[in-house]
Amino acid sequence: ATFHHADLTILVFPKLPLVGFNAEEAHNIVKECVDGVLSGEDYNHNINQWTSSIVEQSLIHLVKLRKAYKNIVTCSAYGFHTASSGFWDTTPDGTCTIRWENQTMKCVVNVFTIAIVL
């Protein structure tokens, strides 16, 4: 089934196999999204638009993996300290952090992936 909300399309895939979280795969996907949005840019007033775009693109690409997961993506691009924590089953669930920076800004993206158990 496909659900549409504003410019974001959410795909629902029933009865997908439960597999362990692949942090490297998620890291590579999100890193490409961050590079695509921020590469060649200098910090300016578009930062909110950029962070929203990174989150939306990351979610779209993670969903395309067709794995039975709920994905949560956060992005901050101001260069301040951030921390996160989760309580879950570390076998199928997981998290990864993507750090990106240039001379004028830093970007931190956190991905939290929680297995859907049907």
In a domain, 17, yes or no: no
Q: For residue 81, what pLDDT is reported? A: 62
Q: Which of 10, 11, 49, 37 is nearest to 98 (CA)?
A: 37
In a domain, 77, yes or no: yes
The tally of domains found in the chain comes to: 1
In a domain, 8, yes or no: no
Q: What is the pLDDT of residues 70-80, one digit of tens each?
A: 889 999 877 56
Confidence of residue 48 (pLDDT cuts 50, 70, 90): confident
Return the CATH number at 36. 3.30.1140.40
In a domain, 16, yes or no: no
- For residue 41, pLDDT over 80 is answered with yes
Sign of CA dihedral 91, 3, 6, 35: positive
Task: Tell me the residue range of the domain where 107 lies.
Answer: 23-115
Maximum Cα–Cα distance across the chain: 46
φ/ψ bin of 6: left (φ > 0), alpha (ψ from -120 to 50), beta (otherwise): left
CB 43 within 8 A of CB 107: no
For the chain, percent of residues with pLDDT exceeding 70:
77
